[in-house]
Structure 1
Amino acid sequence: MEEEYIKLIFGLKLKQIRTKRKLSLFGLSKLSGLSKSYLNEIEKGKKYPKTDKIALLADKLEVPYDSLVSLKLDKNLAPVGELLKSKVLKELPLELFGIKESDLIDIVSNAPTKVNAFISTIIEIAKHYNFGKENFYLASLRSFQEASNNYFPELEEAVQNFSKAYQVNLKKSPKSIELEEILVEEYGYTINNEELAKYKELDKLRSIFIPKTKTLLVADHIDEAQRAFIYAKEIGYNYLNIEERLYTFTWIKFNNFDQVLNNFYASYFAGALVIPRELIKKNMDSFLSKPKFDKTFLAGIKNNYNASPESLYQRLTNILPNDYQLENLFFLRLSHRGGSNHFEITKELHLTHQHSPHGNETNEKYCRRWVSIRVLQDIAKSSKEHLMDVQISHYPSDGLSYLIFSSATVDPFKKDMYRSVSLGLLINNELKKKVRFLDDPALKTYNVGVTCERCDIPDCPVRQSSPTVLLRQQQDLKTDTVVDELQKKFS
């Protein structure tokens, strides 16, 4: 048994017995002669008393010594013991949200059966929807980003300090050759561009890092922007002194949440290095101040950066909330196989609250009026490498409208696969003040839904499924109304 587990169980049993005796901590302190703070630390599982003190507590509380030190729990505390033994709490990245494990245990111990039933329910739901540890960690990371408005000043400052120390000019987007020189000369890396091509199983990977020899294996088919990001991320790992890290990009496995979190830190550092904050602010100032929407500007802005459209859109989720106070936004990444009718959300981020367009894991059909789906359909039919479009999406169901930019690209790592990235900005007073071209008649407005199964837009020519969920909800509402009428009639 782990020492920590034994302390927790003893503390829970002591608290349970004290509560049954209707004793406060102060009362037990007077009864036993032990300090209130010491007893509090015992109950929280921080300390385990010596034999003489256990004997004293057993005597004053009138319980057998063996019963007090036994790890056997009664039916009320048994669920807590199972929870602690399962180490589920160890899987939760509690410290990320400023929660102490002891606080959570305290909540559980106050209502063990109910809380354990709640956690068991969550676990069952996770199993039912195939929600594994990876999904849980990514959801935790996403919540962390959202809680911080996806802006991390300490990482922005780290990039500034790095640029001064290594004389990297942040008035432009650095090239991969400049970053490679730093990796080789400063951090002792060896770059290998040939090895990965020998293994067909590694076609989807962009890089592998071998820590023992500091060898970075890089796929030979990546473009300049992808290579620059990989190098910038490796610099981030080193400059931020991160040891607990992932070794493949894209990553294929992890051992703990710290690796997932540190991967995000290194990626944020890379994005801030490749897309300098002051440079993108200068471009955005020019774009937002135009009285008419300039589609060529967004289509061409990526030429100012050694970065992919996805990196650019994600960087905007850092800059817009902090520097423009446009906090109500979302980011979506969708994937699509050419020739199929399937569209999957593979990444999403919602700042301030859960915005209307969001992932759905019940195989419902996403609204085909989304610009993020339209650009995927268009690029699959064309021979272009990149397509960009914009629209105003209005959700009649909740009365909200969004200004949405979307870019679609060919997936360079999967045959016949395409992906789109979209940035949606909630249209409110703040956005109207910042975006001059919002009233441009060239911007088309579409009534949209989230999924066809929940959409009440009539006569939709691109509907993929009948509104089954919505019809069921409406029927339930009618049933509820009739029941209320009968209750009043016969009361």
Structure 2
Amino acid sequence: LRQFPFDEFDLDIADLVGLFTRAPDKASALLHAVLEIARQYDMKDEHFLRAALRSYQEIHDNYFPEIEESAAAFAKQHGLDSAMPVQYEALTELLQTNFNYRLDHTSLSKQPALAGYRAVFFEGAKPRFLLNPTLYPLQRKFLVARELGYAHMKLKERSHTSTPDRVGSFRQVLNDFKASYFAGALLMPKARIVADLSQFFAQATWNPAPLLAMLQTYDVTPEMLLYRLSEVIPQAFGMRLHFLRFHNTGGEHQLIKRLNMNKLLLPSGIGLHEHYCRRWLSSRLLSDLADYREQGGNGAGLPLVDVQISEFLTHRDRFLCIGFARPLVLAPNVGSSVIIGFQMNAELNKTIRFAADPAIPVTIINETCERCPLTSAECGVRTAPPIILQQEQLKAERKQALKQLQAQL
């Protein structure tokens, strides 16, 4: 409880203490239930803290003007805003000259046990920043830009490895997020990216060329680009969205990262061992990527990019989804897809003209295979039987039978 960021949600721990003093038995039962659920699903502190961060981001529509302003002022001060893309050499020079860093591009490659790290930070009077040379240059550039974010904004409580080995506090998670946000804003300035998006959205028909051009203009990965769009679109265009990142590991599609600002029906949880609907654009792109690689694709067609309108089977809500897929650099056998999605409505059609393009496929989707009523004849990509749906149907039948029996007695 000491780690939970009550202040970030305008709460006081005294409120929780008050609950325990007013109704100690009920409060103890509630706490016991929460802890029992946490143990059952093997939930760690990190899961709670990252869930708190997601809620914090969603409350603010994932837009933080103070970080935008800090990144813009930093770029202007150091002449980084004159042309795109921002140059790696300019960022490393700033990190070394202005913040007294020592950069190391070789040490991580000498230790096989450290090959999975993207970067490692060692504190000191002259901090050392070790970068994995296996990464693409644009990935190393993002890491240096993020390190500038830590240094410029004086964020002390932070992760020392990427990906973090441990999460000790919400402040650490929040500072990591702030530094990454700073990096995205530095490499993809808001005014420029909004102008590019305005042109992209003004197309009468779907054409991914402008989106692919943004990858080149800003020299970023698909993940960096779409996550940056999740930061600027809600504020600049008034459209809430969702962001999903999936990995395909040995045929298993895993949800790795998400932001859900438009209330997408998304079954989730540490203990959820179900199979996400393979009709989602996220999963379809992963399957397309696997097929591409099995057929001997040489990488010239990567990243894959596509669009679809996803319509939920039960409540018929529609979402315009746009996404990319590519292999991971440090784990080439793992496919990664990222998508952003917008709920379809009249306002969306006014803002994104190509949303009305009849050539965009409309695909019926559901939550997971285990909950889906579609038959094998209706869905050719089912990966698991509908066992949860069958259990729910059995419960409903029992309930109805009990009612009938009660009426007869």
Inter-CA distance 171–325: structure 2 relative to 1 (3 Å threshold): farther
Q: Please report how far the alpha carbon of residue 177 of structure 1 lies from its aligned counterpart in structure 2 after TM superposition.
A: 1.0
> 1:148 aligns to what?
60
CA distance in 1 between counterparts of 2:71 and 2:82 reads: 9
Q: Which amino acid aligns with 1:456?
A: P
1:282 correspondence with 2:195: yes
Of the structure 1 ranges 263-272 and 102-111, higher mean CA displacement relative to structure 2 is found in 102-111
**Structure 2: 5+ residue runs without aligned partners?**
none
Q: What SS class does the counterpart of residue 90 from structure 1 fall into?
A: coil
Please say if residues 170 and 273 of structure 1, whose CA atoms lie closer than 8 Å, have aligned partners that are also in contact.
no
CA distance in 1 between counterparts of 2:26 and 2:113 reads: 47
Q: Please report how far the alpha carbon of residue 170 of structure 1 lies from its aligned counterpart in structure 2 after TM superposition.
A: 5.6
TM-score w.r.t. length of structure 2: 0.93
Identity of aligned residues (%): 32
Match of residue 447, structure 1, among 349, 364, 382: 364
**Structure 1: 5+ residue runs without aligned partners?**
1-88
Q: What SS class does the counterpart of residue 307 from structure 1 fall into?
A: coil
Q: Please report how far the alpha carbon of residue 150 of structure 1 lies from its aligned counterpart in structure 2 after TM superposition.
A: 0.5
Of the structure 1 ranges 470-479 and 269-278, higher mean CA displacement relative to structure 2 is found in 470-479
CA distance in 2 between counterparts of 1:247 and 1:189 reads: 14
CA distance in 1 between counterparts of 2:168 and 2:91 reads: 29
CA distance in 1 between counterparts of 2:10 and 2:119 reads: 34
> 1:405 aligns to what?
322
Q: What SS class does the counterpart of residue 175 from structure 2 fall into?
A: helix
Q: Please report how far the alpha carbon of residue 482 of structure 1 lies from its aligned counterpart in structure 2 after TM superposition.
A: 3.8
Q: Which amino acid aligns with 1:388?
A: V
Q: Please report how far the alpha carbon of residue 489 of structure 1 lies from its aligned counterpart in structure 2 after TM superposition.
A: 5.7
Deviation per residue, 1:383-413 (Å, 9 max, x gap): 3241111111110212211111121111111
- CA-based RMSD of the aligned residues comes to 1.6
Please say if residues 262 and 342 of structure 2, whose CA atoms lie closer than 8 Å, have aligned partners that are also in contact.
no
If you compute each CA radius of gyration, which structure gives the higher value, 1 or 2?
1
Q: What SS class does the counterpart of residue 424 from structure 1 fall into?
A: strand
State how 1:4-153 maps to structure 2 within 5 Å: 89-153=1-65
Match of residue 251, structure 2, among 341, 346, 349: 341
1:201 correspondence with 2:113: yes
Of structures 1 and 2, the one with the larger relative CO (CA 8 A, separation 6+) is 2
Match of residue 265, structure 2, among 348, 353, 356: 356
> 2:102 aligns to what?
190
Q: What SS class does the counterpart of residue 91 from structure 1 fall into?
A: coil
Deviation per residue, 1:22-80 (Å, 9 max, x gap): xxxxxxxxxxxxxxxxxxxxxxxxxxxxxxxxxxxxxxxxxxxxxxxxxxxxxxxxxxx
Deviation per residue, 1:415-454 (Å, 9 max, x gap): 4111111111111222122111112121001101110011
CA distance in 1 between counterparts of 2:247 and 2:81 reads: 35
Match of residue 79, structure 2, among 167, 186, 193: 167
State how 1:275-424 maps to structure 2 within 5 Å: 275-327=188-240, 329-337=241-249, 340-353=250-263, 355-360=264-269, 361-381=271-291, 382=293, 383=297, 384=299, 385-424=302-341
Q: Please report how far the alpha carbon of residue 488 of structure 1 lies from its aligned counterpart in structure 2 after TM superposition.
A: 5.2
Please say if residues 72 and 189 of structure 2, whose CA atoms lie closer than 8 Å, have aligned partners that are also in contact.
no
CA distance in 2 between counterparts of 1:157 and 1:350 reads: 25
Please say if residues 406 and 422 of structure 1, whose CA atoms lie closer than 8 Å, have aligned partners that are also in contact.
yes
> 2:374 aligns to what?
457
CA distance in 1 between counterparts of 2:74 and 2:190 reads: 14
Q: Please report how far the alpha carbon of residue 485 of structure 1 lies from its aligned counterpart in structure 2 after TM superposition.
A: 4.5
Q: Please report how far the alpha carbon of residue 487 of structure 1 lies from its aligned counterpart in structure 2 after TM superposition.
A: 4.6
Q: Which amino acid aligns with 1:283?
A: D
Please say if residues 170 and 276 of structure 1, whose CA atoms lie closer than 8 Å, have aligned partners that are also in contact.
no
Q: What SS class does the counterpart of residue 187 from structure 1 fall into?
A: coil
CA distance in 2 between counterparts of 1:489 and 1:426 reads: 48
Please say if residues 208 and 217 of structure 1, whose CA atoms lie closer than 8 Å, have aligned partners that are also in contact.
yes
Q: Which amino acid aligns with 1:216?
A: F
Please say if residues 242 and 262 of structure 2, whose CA atoms lie closer than 8 Å, have aligned partners that are also in contact.
no
1:268 correspondence with 2:181: yes
Please say if residues 72 and 185 of structure 2, whose CA atoms lie closer than 8 Å, have aligned partners that are also in contact.
no
Please say if residues 80 and 86 of structure 2, whose CA atoms lie closer than 8 Å, have aligned partners that are also in contact.
yes
> 1:476 aligns to what?
395
Q: Please report how far the alpha carbon of residue 317 of structure 1 lies from its aligned counterpart in structure 2 after TM superposition.
A: 0.7
Q: What SS class does the counterpart of residue 395 from structure 2 fall into?
A: helix
CA distance in 2 between counterparts of 1:484 and 1:394 reads: 35
Q: What SS class does the counterpart of residue 2 from structure 2 fall into?
A: helix
> 1:229 aligns to what?
142
Q: Please report how far the alpha carbon of residue 296 of structure 1 lies from its aligned counterpart in structure 2 after TM superposition.
A: 2.4
CA distance in 1 between counterparts of 2:211 and 2:404 reads: 57
CA distance in 1 between counterparts of 2:278 and 2:214 reads: 27
TM-score w.r.t. length of structure 1: 0.78
CA distance in 1 between counterparts of 2:389 and 2:316 reads: 17
CA distance in 2 between counterparts of 1:171 and 1:229 reads: 17
Inter-CA distance 463–363: structure 2 relative to 1 (3 Å threshold): same
Please say if residues 247 and 253 of structure 2, whose CA atoms lie closer than 8 Å, have aligned partners that are also in contact.
yes
Inter-CA distance 387–358: structure 2 relative to 1 (3 Å threshold): farther
Q: What SS class does the counterpart of residue 201 from structure 1 fall into?
A: helix
- Give 4+ residue runs of structure 1 displaced > 6 Å after superposition: none
CA distance in 2 between counterparts of 1:303 and 1:489 reads: 73
Higher helix fraction (1 or 2): 1
Please say if residues 348 and 358 of structure 1, whose CA atoms lie closer than 8 Å, have aligned partners that are also in contact.
no
CA distance in 2 between counterparts of 1:108 and 1:170 reads: 57
Q: Which amino acid aligns with 1:132?
A: K
CA distance in 2 between counterparts of 1:91 and 1:450 reads: 33
Q: Please report how far the alpha carbon of residue 92 of structure 1 lies from its aligned counterpart in structure 2 after TM superposition.
A: 1.8
CA distance in 2 between counterparts of 1:326 and 1:135 reads: 28
Q: What number of residue pairs does the alignment pair up?
A: 398
